[in-house]
């Protein structure tokens, strides 16, 4: 099936994966994400090594910042770390030409 992968895969602009991941994190922290969005994000490895490192970091947040409220993902500091990760992604987001920001 690799022969046909390019035909059916949606073409995306440079940086769109970065924007998508940052948006998923922000929506989760702000309580705007869909029921399974966060689970899908944390469960599926990313091809981009930088985005994969962010995903892996997000998975560790609950153990590093345990929730103080039953049912929460993490504590307030953990949410701040998540938002900082989203900002980091946006800072490193490739521009439209495909070049990564310095």
Residue 56 CA to residue 52 CA, distance in Å, equals: 6
Please give the pLDDT value at position 11: 47
Residue 96 CA to residue 67 CA, distance in Å, equals: 38
Q: Judge whether 64 and 73 are in contact, CB under 8 Å.
A: no
**Would you list the domain boundaries of the chain?**
13-92
Please give the pLDDT value at position 13: 54
Q: What is the DSSP string of 35-94?
A: TTHHHHHHHS--SSHHHHHHHHHHHHHHHHS--SSTT-SS-HHHHHHHHHHHHHHHHH--
Question: pLDDT digits over 8-33, tens only?
Answer: 444 455 568 999 999 999 999 999 99
In 10 A of CB 5, how many CB atoms?
A: 8
pTM of the predicted model, to two decimals? 0.79
């Amino acid at each position: 099936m690799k022969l046909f992968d390019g035909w059916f895969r949606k073409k995306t602009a440079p940086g769109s994966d970065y924007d998508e991941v940052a948006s998923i994190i922000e929506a989760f922290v702000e309580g705007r994400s869909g029921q399974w969005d966060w689970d899908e994000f944390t469960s599926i490895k990313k091809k981009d090594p930088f985005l994969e490192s962010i995903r892996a970091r997000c998975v560790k947040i609950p153990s590093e910042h345990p929730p103080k409220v039953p049912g929460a993902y993490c504590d307030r500091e953990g949410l701040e770390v998540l938002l900082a990760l989203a900002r980091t992604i946006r800072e490193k987001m490739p521009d439209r030409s495909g070049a990564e920001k310095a």
